[in-house]
Amino acid sequence: MKYLLGVDIGTTSLKAAVFDENAECVKLVTKEYTLLASGDFVEFPANDYWKLFLEALDELSKDYEIFAMSIDTQCETLI
């Protein structure tokens, strides 16, 4: 069976889910984080997004062979 990976990088967490060919979610992983606030600015180290993504991918790819992937971010989160 072919599995699809959906990744959502949001305000407080990175969520990654594996879906089967019938669009059923078979596993979901959430990696929470805290944004760094300073005055009017909020930030998060870019490399930490990558590390969280790799952790989620490692956890999900142990049980499923990923065929395709889609990534969704909130506003400027795409780096």
pLDDT band at 26 (very low <50, low <70, confident <90, very high): very high
- 66-70 contacts at long range (C-beta below 8 A, 24 or more positions apart): 66/3, 66/4, 66/5, 66/18, 67/2, 67/3, 67/4, 68/2, 68/4, 68/5, 69/4, 69/5, 69/6, 69/7, 70/4, 70/5, 70/6, 70/7
Tell me the mean pLDDT in the region 47-62. 94
Q: What is the pLDDT of residues 65-74, one digit of tens each?
A: 999 999 998 7
* Beta pairing class for 66-73 and 3-9: parallel
pLDDT at 46: 84
Q: What whole-number distance in Å separates Cα of residue 29 and Cα of residue 27?
A: 7
pTM beyond 0.75: the answer is: yes
pLDDT of residue 44: 85
pLDDT at residue 68 in the model: 96
Q: What is the pLDDT of residue 45?
A: 86
